[in-house]
Amino acid sequence: MKYILQKSDPKISYLIAKELRRQEEGMELIPSENYASPAVLEALGSVFTNKYSEGYPGRRYYGGQENVDAIENLALSRAKKLFGAEHCNVQPLSGAPANLAVYSALLKPGDTVLGMDLSCGGHLTHGHPVTLPAKIYHFERYKTEEDGKIDYEKLRKIAKKVKPKILLAGFSSYTRKINYGAFKKIAQEVGAISLFDMAHVAGLVAGKAYPNPIAYFDIVTTTTHKSLRGPRGGMILCKKEFAQAIDKAVFPGLQGGPHENNIASKAVAFGEALLPSFRVYAKQVIVNAKILEKEFKKRKYHLVFGGTDSHMLLIDIVKSRGLTGKQAQDILDEVGITLNKNVIPYDLRGPMDPSGIRLGTPAITTRGMKEGEMKMIVEYIDRAFLASEKPRELKSIRKDVRDLCKQFPVYKKSK
Ligand code: DSN
């Protein structure tokens, strides 16, 4: 890639080049990360960043909107086609603002939301006490069982007891499929609005490799990066009856001028996700995750929730290798493998040094890695844990990782 910045701001240019090198030479296993295409990046860096466009297509507060409206309409129609949604809002700046917009559209302060506990795979924005929504609304939580499954009868009982206004499904470290039909039934039974946060699996849904939640939930939120491989951003899909409340909550409720450069970039990513090649990609993401599962199991690693149905694995690394999550993450950082420490259900350790590590396959699959490479990655990871006190061995694994990554260039191939 060529940077004009090289001359105008060499310090920033240097750091961008260094980050590009880190991404090219490192094995990216953080399950919420991916490599956006050069086309997605080009749209993101386009002149749409210069434009103010408060409002929605055809109803803006500033002039000069003919191109902005066309871009936003394209993003909306592509997103609706991709997921089969009745209504879409592409303006949320990211996943947290998208979820906050839904809460503020549908709830009064003090109203109850029933969502999954963070340690059992939920997400901070699903009502963790440290977040703003938790200070405004009342969050109740359901947990997973010892075997990693959700007990829907138990969930039904909790829902009947706490009478949520919103029944929330979705996760950031839960690795199993959930029963959409059961959620829908429970929501209907207790008169709740059903919400699914599909941020982690949106790309898999778009690629038809994972069940589509749209028909089951009143509202679906997502980020557009992660497995969907777009720019960093958020999106809300919903039934028509909620459209007006959602749109009002996003603007003017929570946000000002939408980031139309980001929306242009989302439109490009949705266009890419509509191509047949994206289906091949999404399928391979899951195939790769299943190979990781198999290889880790072969080496007697303890997989939380018993394994995976998606792109992501959660490993109890204390039980597996006697390391804490932070120790494991730090060792792998040394050899150029990036993943994240993560809490596990009923974790006795804190979030800064929990008992688990979380990893996934969206980014390495974008690079073109397949079954054979997955086996090598698990071998490198296991070797690194065994060699944690041996700097020379770690150095040699770092070289192996770099050599493998070099065979699967991300951006350099498009030179
Ligand atoms: N930070 C994201 C993740 O890693 O899952 C969720 O917001």
Tell me what pLDDT residue 389 has. 83
Distance, CA of 326 to CA of 329 (rounded, Å): 5
223 Cα nearest atom in ligand 1: 7
Beta-bridged to residue 221, according to DSSP, are: 197, 236
- 225 and 365, same structural domain? no
92 lies in a domain?
yes
- 326 and 200, same structural domain? no
Phi, psi of 111 (to 5 degrees): -65, 155
- What residues contact 355, with CB distance under 8 A and at least 6 apart? 316, 317, 318, 319, 324, 325, 343, 344, 347, 348, 349
Tell me what pLDDT residue 181 has. 98
* Segments forming the whole domain that contains residue 288: 277-406
- 284 and 386, same structural domain? yes
Ligand 1 atom 6, closest CA: 172
- Short-list 93, 118, 114, 116, CA closest to 103: 114
- 169 and 72, same structural domain? yes
Q: DSSP alpha helices (H): ranges in 149-275?
A: 152-162, 180-190, 202-206, 243-248, 260-273
Catalytic residue among 24, 28, 33, 197: 197
pTM of the model: 0.96
Distance, CA of 255 to CA of 253 (rounded, Å): 6
Tell me what pLDDT residue 413 has. 60
CB 95 near ligand 1, within 6 Å: yes
Distance, CA of 21 to CA of 155 (rounded, Å): 46
81 lies in a domain?
yes
Active site includes 380?
A: no
Neighbours of 21 (CB within 10 A): 11
Contact 112, 163 (CB under 8 A): yes
- 340 and 245, same structural domain? no
SS3 356: strand
Tell me what pLDDT residue 415 has. 44
- 349 and 232, same structural domain? no
Distance, CA of 268 to CA of 151 (rounded, Å): 39
Distance, CA of 234 to CA of 99 (rounded, Å): 9
Tell me what pLDDT residue 119 has. 86
CB 32 near ligand 1, within 6 Å: yes
Active site includes 111?
A: no
Active site includes 232?
A: yes
33 lies in a domain?
no
- Per-residue pLDDT of 289-308, as tens digits, reads 999 999 999 999 999 999 99
- Short-list 281, 224, 208, 242, CA closest to 76: 224
Q: In the listed set 213, 242, 273, which residue is the last one of a domain according to the structure?
A: 273
The three state secondary structure string of 172-207 is CCCCCCCCHHHHHHHHHHHCCEEEEECCCCHHHHHC
- 219 and 324, same structural domain? no
- What residues contact 223, with CB distance under 8 A and at least 6 apart? 32, 94, 95, 98, 199, 202, 232, 233, 234, 235
Contact 142, 79 (CB under 8 A): no
The number of domains in the chain is: 2
| Residuewise pLDDT in 10s, the chain (415 residues) | 456 999 999 999 999 999 999 999 999 999 999 999 999 999 999 999 999 999 999 999 999 999 999 999 999 999 999 999 999 999 999 999 999 999 999 999 999 999 999 888 889 999 999 999 999 999 999 999 877 889 999 999 999 999 999 999 999 999 999 999 999 999 999 999 999 999 999 999 999 999 999 999 999 999 999 999 999 999 999 999 999 999 999 999 999 999 999 999 999 999 999 999 999 999 999 999 999 999 999 999 999 999 999 999 999 999 999 999 999 999 999 999 999 999 999 999 999 999 999 999 999 999 999 999 999 999 999 999 999 888 999 999 999 999 999 999 999 764 4
Ligand 1 atom 2, closest CA: 32
Catalytic residue among 52, 56, 152, 411: 52
- What residues contact 56, with CB distance under 8 A and at least 6 apart? 72, 247, 251
- Per-residue pLDDT of 236-275, as tens digits, reads 999 999 999 999 999 999 999 999 999 999 999 999 999 9
SS3 340: strand
Quote the ligand 1 centre to 391 CA distance (angstroms).
Answer: 31
Distance, CA of 119 to CA of 173 (rounded, Å): 8
CB 104 near ligand 1, within 6 Å: no
Beta-bridged to residue 337, according to DSSP, are: 27
